[in-house]
């Protein structure tokens, strides 16, 4: 079943609409969606390595837009954001992030943007803490851009061996990715 899904994603990732879907997933992941855009970025770069930099740029810009939406949710619509935070059981994490933003804002964004901690929690917390939107976006462009461009660059350089590795160990890789997401949520709730 995973093999068929993977093959379909590879086929779809070469379509003309794939960049639009990538942008939508990256946008939504920055504010409300639980699945990172990496799940689309990886097969898209493997399918079209010549588009790696463009796809990383799409991911970065859309993720920043999603982060700005998350920031606005935290800053202006705290009642709506609290519903989302409650949905993800992140009340304690949000309170801790607010305190940390007051003290270490820029550094927190840089560190959390590279980890499996969901970016939406960072963006909402930055807004709820009324951390400077300009500084939030500056830190986000550094950390999100580094993440997506590094991933795209590695896939572009090592594409064929990475693709072969993924195809041979698809179940192991998807299990590891799921565990990383769960670990990120656990870290976000405890930190």
Q: What is the pLDDT of residues 52-69, one digit of tens each?
A: 999 999 999 999 999 999
**What's residue 105's pLDDT?**
77
**What's residue 172's pLDDT?**
65
Whole-prediction pTM: 0.73
**What's residue 114's pLDDT?**
66
DSSP state of 125: H
Residue 169 in this model has a pLDDT that exceeds 80: no
**What's residue 20's pLDDT?**
92
Mean pLDDT of the residues in the chain: 79
Place of tokens 């810009």: 61
Q: What is the pLDDT of residues 83-142, one digit of tens each?
A: 777 777 777 877 776 777 777 778 778 777 666 567 888 888 888 888 899 999 999 998
Measuring CA to CA, which residue among 176, 114, 123 is closest to residue 149? 114
Measuring CA to CA, which residue among 115, 125, 177 is closest to residue 146? 115
Question: How does residue 27 score in pLDDT terms, banded at 50, 70 and 90?
Answer: very high
């Amino acid at each position: 079943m995973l093999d068929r899904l993977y093959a379909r994603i590879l086929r779809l990732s070469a379509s003309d609409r794939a960049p639009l879907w990538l942008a939508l997933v990256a946008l939504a992941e920055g504010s409300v969606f639980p699945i990172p855009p990496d799940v689309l970025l990886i097969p898209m770069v493997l399918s079209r390595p010549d588009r790696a930099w463009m796809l990383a740029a799409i991911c970065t810009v859309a993720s920043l837009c999603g982060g700005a939406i998350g920031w606005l949710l935290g800053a202006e619509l705290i009642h709506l954001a609290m519903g989302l935070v409650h949905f993800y059981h992140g009340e304690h994490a949000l309170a801790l992030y607010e305190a940390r933003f007051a003290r270490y804002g820029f550094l927190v964004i840089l560190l959390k943007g590279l980890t499996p901690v969901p970016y939406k929690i960072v963006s909402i917390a930055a807004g709820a803490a009324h951390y400077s939107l300009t500084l939030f976006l500056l830190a986000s462009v550094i950390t999100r851009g580094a993440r997506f461009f590094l991933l795209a660059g590695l896939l572009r350089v090592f594409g064929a061996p990475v693709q072969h590795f993924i195809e041979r160990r698809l179940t192991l890789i998807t299990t590891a990715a799921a565990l990383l997401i769960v670990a990120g949520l656990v870290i976000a709730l405890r930190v």
